Amino acid sequence: MDGKIRVAIVPVDLKKGFLKAAAHANRMEKKRKVFHGGIDTQGLLPFGKPEEVKREVRRFMDLLGKDGGYILMASQGFEGDVPIENIEAVYSVDRSCCN
């Protein structure tokens, strides 16, 4: 490695979703990469139950978090319609799997 950070834009087919696109990019490219965000802010976070949020966060972490390859965050900032219980659920999931 030359120590340079390279940024790649990964097109996402919104019909398939971020997680599927990220998983595909992960399989295609063998170099180390980091994904950021992707937790649904339009459906899951404002309307889901905390347990549903935890399951989705776990899916993202299991698929993308190996070797520190995932920065846990919503697909964008948290909006005012997201219950505090769901924000807490995002960050209460055990992250020990991803070290």
Give the count of beta carbons closer than 10 Å to the beta carbon of residue 8.
8
Going from the C-alpha of 2 to that of each of 5, 24, 42, 54, the distances in angstroms are 9, 26, 39, 38
Kindly report the number of other CB atoms within 10 A of residue 55's CB atom: 14
Whole-prediction pTM value? 0.68
Average of per-residue pLDDT across 21-38: 66
pLDDT in tens, 36-83: 778 888 899 999 999 999 999 888 888 777 766 777 777 677 888 999
pLDDT at 22: 65
